[in-house]
Chain A
Amino acid sequence: MEFTRRSGITALAAAPLLVALSACNRGGGEGGEDALDIALISKGFQHQFWQAVKKGAEEAAEEHGVTISFDGPAAETEIDSQLQMFQAAIDRAPDAICFAALDPEACVPLYDRAEGADIPIVEFDAGCDSDYSQNLAATDNKAAGAIAAEHLAEAIGGKGEIAIVAHSQINATSVDRRDGFVEYIEENNPDIAIVDIQYGDGDHLKSADVAKAMIGANDLVGMYGTNEGSAIGVVNAVKELGLSGEEIKVVGFDSGSAQQEAIRDGVMLGAVTQDPQSIGRLTVEAAISAVKGEDLEEFTDTGSYWYDADNIDDDEIQAMVYD
């Protein structure tokens, strides 16, 4: 119940008009006088991934006795509404701000303002083109894309046509996961041709239709989806066309119960998972260090891991995937 109600409050924050109001609510905080107040502004809150980041952040907050707030826009295209949340956070003057940039440029002026207000910033998931931030805790998405490429290449015996359904042309996570994958294939597998790369906005339905068109237009032996929605789209396309996981090898990204089920059923070869709870936890810990004035590394790789039917039930994997 608690979870649902909190989500409800966050859902209301989706309306830009209510952003300021929401920030006021949170400003009250639950912590005592001494507790540090840390504002996290994520790229979203609706996706399971962000819920897992939030969970990790909340656990770290409890462990270290700090108060956190967690806001994010309704969709990952709403750069403007994310900036308004950032501004509201600065106005509230917390001890530190943690930010996951939807756009690396649009946030620069607000970083200057935070610097003026002497509020330290640490970043998570994706950074801003500013020197003010002290640490970025994120998945090395290029390395993660390469992991996906390595396993797909091996599964198709190092030759044949493959295609990619990515979730955004702009978003850095999508671009890096795509490029990391493409670069690995180009360097190591000359007999594999990446015949098409298209974008489905991470929308399950749209990605399925994109994938079906690609399968129809080419003789694909493998496909790669760069996030949960893209990967499920590919899986649904393969299923709807009556193909099997043997005919087209599918590798995905992140988790969600549909993706886990597809891996267990053999429709999907496997997927790369990030460690969202670690992102949340390490971000809050970096923020605490920043407030204390400790030195921080520029980048913390929060890790990415391959999982398939063989290791999906291992404890380490189950700690990172979500339903």
Chain B
Amino acid sequence: MSSSENGAAVATEARAGGTTAAPSTPAWRAWLQQGLAFGTLIALLLFFWAASPRFLTWSNISGVLLATAVIGILALGTTFVITTAGIDLSIGTGMTLCSVMTGIFAVDLGLPMPLAVLLGILTGGVIGLLNGLNVAILGLPPFIATLAMMMIAQGLALVISGVSPIYFNDVPSFQSIALGTLIPGLPNAVLIMFLVAALAWFLLSKTIFGRITVAIGSNEEAARLSGIDTRRWKLIIYIVAGLFTGVAGVVMASRLGSAQPQLGVGYELQAIAAVIIGGTSLMGGRGSITGTLIGALIMSVLINGLRILSIQTEWQNVVVGIVIALAVFFDTLRNKRSA
């Protein structure tokens, strides 16, 4: 996980450096960042295709997409929080808690599968609500509030599961949530990721919710003075991010056929890295859902390609770390210019 820690350090630095929120940037800058991310993705695909005939096979591509699903869904949800200049460190272990709760509802309590899944997702909403209360109402810094929640969620996942995995063997249909194929050859988890992405895109760019998310991130004080109840909206934003976490938890548990209470640490940093690579600014005020999706794909294409080429795991971490550092570098560079 050294690459992820790297990412966090870079992220914190960038955060400390940016004392003022960036003003709204011209549209072409946003396009540039997304073009850059998209170009990087295409370049990576071409590079690995040239390097190994094994890379561009449907089985491998669907594998890459499936590997993106969990991190991708987490990243999509947390894009909203980061767009408000917040951060959510609780999504990794929060996701694990949602997996465990889905297991408790479906296996231990024997509830019907759809209801158990719904309650599992709502668990994420509750985690988001608590984060939101701490950040928006009590005014705790998001970094600290969600760090605390990260530890609480990890502890609770272990306590509630009795420190052992919960297996969904008795709920056979559960695994088809992630691994069934409504579209032949494409695991449902990938379909869920794209549906969630479409929903997130709609929320961020077509609704008042999205506009307020951006407004809070651009200048929270100005948003408040213009009559927006920023506290209430921030609460809602954290709840929405939490619900995404819940979806990721269900997908994860479904893919593994079990809720593994010890997993999850480090996933939040990978998700945050995907968001940043995709061009959402850590200083808030600018978020991109397609960017996040591309960012998550860049991460998994990169890792998959390096694995296909049998590059040592240590070097894989180094390369991913460099990519994250470069993405944040471009982010701060752009902010400086536009300031």
Decide whether A and B are members of one complex. yes
Q: Mark A62-76, 1 if CB is under 8 A from B, else 0.
A: 000000000000110
In angstroms, Cα B208 to Cα A180, docked, is 61
Contact of A48 among B1, B60, B164 (CB under 8 A): B164
The answer to whether A258 and B167 touch across the interface, beta carbons within 8 angstroms, is: yes
Contact of A46 among B54, B60, B261 (CB under 8 A): B261
- Chain A residues with Cβ under 8 A from B1's Cβ? 77, 201
Q: Mark B158-169, 1 if CB is under 8 A from A, else 0.
A: 110011110101
Known: A204-B256, A240-B179, A258-B257. A11 touches B307 (CB 8 A): no
Per DSSP, are chain A's interface residues mostly helix, strand or loop, or mixed? helix
The answer to whether A11 and B54 touch across the interface, beta carbons within 8 angstroms, is: no
B154 within 8 A of A: yes
In the complex, which residues 261-320 of chain B have their Cβ closer than 8 Å to any Cβ of chain A?
261-263, 265, 300, 303-304, 307-310, 312-314
In angstroms, Cα B314 to Cα A75, docked, is 19
- Chain B residues with Cβ under 8 A from A204's Cβ? 256, 258, 260, 263
Known: A51-B163, A205-B252. A74 touches B154 (CB 8 A): yes
The 3 closest A-B pairs by CB, nearest first: A213-B307, A46-B262, A199-B313
- Count A/B pairs, Cβ under 8 Å: 113
A256 within 8 A of B: yes
B187 within 8 A of A: yes
B57 within 8 A of A: yes
Residue of A nearest to B304 (CB): A213
B35 within 8 A of A: no
Size band of the interface chain A makes with B = 35 or more
Chain B residues proximal to chain A, CB less than 8 Å: 1, 52, 54-55, 57, 59-60, 63, 66-67, 70, 151, 154-155, 158-159, 162-165, 167, 169, 179, 187, 252, 255-258, 260-263, 265, 300, 303-304, 307-310, 312-314
Q: Mark A281-313, 1 if CB is under 8 A from B, else 0.
A: 000000000000000000000000000000000
Known: A74-B154, A75-B265, A213-B60. A46 touches B163 (CB 8 A): yes
Residue of A nearest to B310 (CB): A196
21 contacts between A and B (CB under 8 A): A4-B162, A8-B158, A14-B151, A45-B163, A46-B163, A46-B262, A48-B164, A75-B262, A75-B265, A196-B310, A208-B255, A208-B256, A213-B307, A216-B55, A217-B52, A217-B54, A217-B307, A241-B59, A258-B167, A258-B257, A261-B169
- Chain B residues with Cβ under 8 A from A130's Cβ? none
- Chain B residues with Cβ under 8 A from A212's Cβ? 60, 63, 67
A7 within 8 A of B: yes
Q: Other than A214-B307, A216-B59, give 16 A-B pairs with Cβ distance below 8 A.
A: A11-B154, A15-B155, A48-B164, A51-B163, A75-B262, A169-B313, A196-B310, A204-B258, A204-B260, A208-B255, A213-B63, A213-B308, A216-B308, A217-B308, A258-B257, A323-B164
- Chain B residues with Cβ under 8 A from A240's Cβ? 63, 66, 179, 187
Contact of A12 among B155, B162, B252, B308 (CB under 8 A): B155
